[in-house]
């Protein structure tokens, strides 16, 4: 019975790794988007496992609901027949493999010497008593109010930028 | 209780997979998805830190990262649409207008 959390973690971690490998190796971009949808649901479950319900909900709503739909719309522009005939990777892919393996090895090596810092005030008991969304809101709207306002500005600029960039150029003649 | 290091190792693995995809794929949309993969890897480690150190700041950071990821996806996909309209391709090795 005490092995249950480890088994949960084992399933979700291996599923996340396998799904991310599937995302970057599929030839058909539509398949990549579909695997990524499954990947985002698994990551959301991982957040639930870490007692972060609100973040899990945002993960599903924003990532799976909004960003992936945007990706799917753009993939529809592609010429899929041409895509399926083209090479999957660039010619020098072993160099990329070397770089990413080096990043993984150095991160894993750094983990061996890692010592966690002091614990904060937000214990699991407190979060479960007040509920996660309320606690997060209380911190976000007091201590982080200014960055929150800046985030709205970032989104406004993204909206304007997307319209300007994707608009069809008017021909002058 | 699952140790914190397991989550950090998972996050490192997903991040490296994202780096590999970004460096080796030719399709610009898959490259964008690799960037999203890297952002998600960082989010996993931040939420794990937040849970194990009992501090909500990590989750506030995740909130902002998701905001920036949404903005980045919309602008990036708009750039892809503009590129596709002018060049009729999404393969990055066929785009060399800026080469001197």
Residues in chain A within 8 Å Cβ distance of B68: 151, 154
- Average pLDDT for residues A77-86, to the nearest whole number? 74
Q: Which of A13, A128, A171 to mutate to test the interface with B (most CBs of B within 10 A)?
A: A13
Q: How far is CA A44 from CA B25, B58, B96, in A?
A: 26, 16, 39
Residues in chain A within 8 Å Cβ distance of B6: 9, 13
Decide if B99 is inside a domain.
no
Decide if B47 is inside a domain.
yes
**B43 or A91, which is more confident?**
B43
Is there a contact between A154 and B71 if contact means CB atoms under 8 Å apart?
A: yes
pLDDT score of B98: 73
What's the gap in Å between the CA of A48 and the closest CA on chain B? 10
Instruction: Give the model's confidence band at B46: pLDDT under 50 very low, under 70 low, under 90 confident, else very high.
Output: very high
Whether the pLDDT of residue A90 is over 60: the answer is: yes
Is there a contact between A111 and B79 if contact means CB atoms under 8 Å apart?
A: no
Burial class (CB in 10 A: 0-12, 13-18, 19+), A63: buried
Whether the pLDDT of residue A77 is over 80: the answer is: no
The span from the CA of A116 to the CA of A21, in Å, is 30
**A81 or A11, which is more confident?**
A11
Whether the pLDDT of residue B92 is over 90: the answer is: no
3-state DSSP of chain B: CCCHHHHHHHHHHHHHHHHHHHHHECEHHHHHHHHHHHHHHHHHHHHHHHHHCCCCHHHHHHHHHHHHHHHHHHHHHHHHHHHHHHHCCCEHHHCCCCCC
Residues in chain B within 8 Å Cβ distance of A157: 71
- Average pLDDT for residues A15-36, to the nearest whole number? 93
pLDDT score of B37: 94
- Average pLDDT for residues B88-93, to the nearest whole number? 79
Mean pLDDT score of chain A? 89
Whether the pLDDT of residue B10 is over 60: the answer is: yes
Decide if B46 is inside a domain.
yes
Q: What is the CATH number of the domain that holds B25?
A: 1.10.287.3510
pLDDT score of A3: 86
pLDDT score of A172: 56
Whether the pLDDT of residue B100 is over 70: the answer is: no
The span from the CA of A79 to the CA of A9, in Å, is 39
pLDDT score of A2: 76
Residues in chain B within 8 Å Cβ distance of A47: 47
Instruction: Give the model's confidence band at A85: pLDDT under 50 very low, under 70 low, under 90 confident, else very high.
Output: confident
Continuous segment of H or E residues that includes residue A8: helix A4-25
- Say how many domains are in chain B: 1
Domains recognised in chain A with CATH numbers: 4-87+122-166 (1.20.120.1200)
Residue B24: CA atoms inside 13 Å, Cβ hemisphere, count? 24
Whole-complex ipTM: 0.91
The percentage of residues in chain B with a pLDDT greater than 90, rounded to a whole number, is 65
Instruction: Give the model's confidence band at A117: pLDDT under 50 very low, under 70 low, under 90 confident, else very high.
Output: confident
- Average pLDDT for residues A101-121, to the nearest whole number? 91
Decide if B100 is inside a domain.
no
Whether the pLDDT of residue A1 is over 80: the answer is: no
What domain range includes position B9?
4-94
Mean pLDDT score of chain B? 90
């Amino acid at each position: 019975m005490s092995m249950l959390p480890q088994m949960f973690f084992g399933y979700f971690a291996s599923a996340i790794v396998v799904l991310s490998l599937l995302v970057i190796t599929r030839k058909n971009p539509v398949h990549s988007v579909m695997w990524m949808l499954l990947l985002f649901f698994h990551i959301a479950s991982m957040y639930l496992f870490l007692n972060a319900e609100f973040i899990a909900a945002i993960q599903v709503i924003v990532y799976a609901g909004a960003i992936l739909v945007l990706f799917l719309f753009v993939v529809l522009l592609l010429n899929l027949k041409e895509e399926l005939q083209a090479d999957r990777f660039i010619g020098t892919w072993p160099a990329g493999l070397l770089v990413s393996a080096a990043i993984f090895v150095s991160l894993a090596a750094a983990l061996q010497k890692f010592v966690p810092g002091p614990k904060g005030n937000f214990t699991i008991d407190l979060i479960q008593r007040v509920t996660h969304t309320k606690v997060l809101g209380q911190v976000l709207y007091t201590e982080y109010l200014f960055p929150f306002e800046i985030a709205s500005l970032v989104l406004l600029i993204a909206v304007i930028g997307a319209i300007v960039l994707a608009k069809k150029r008017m021909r002058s003649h | 209780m699952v140790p914190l290091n397991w989550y950090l190792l998972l996050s490192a693995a997903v991040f490296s997979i994202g780096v590999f995809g970004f460096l080796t794929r030719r399709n610009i949309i898959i490259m964008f998805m690799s960037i999203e993969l890297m952002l998600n890897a960082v989010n996993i480690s931040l939420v794990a830190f937040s849970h194990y150190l009992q501090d909500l700041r990590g989750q506030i950071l995740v909130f902002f990262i998701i905001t920036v990821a949404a903005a980045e996806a919309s602008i990036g996909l708009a750039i892809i649409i503009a590129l596709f309209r002018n060049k009729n391709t999404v393969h990055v090795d066929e785009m060399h207008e800026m080469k001197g």
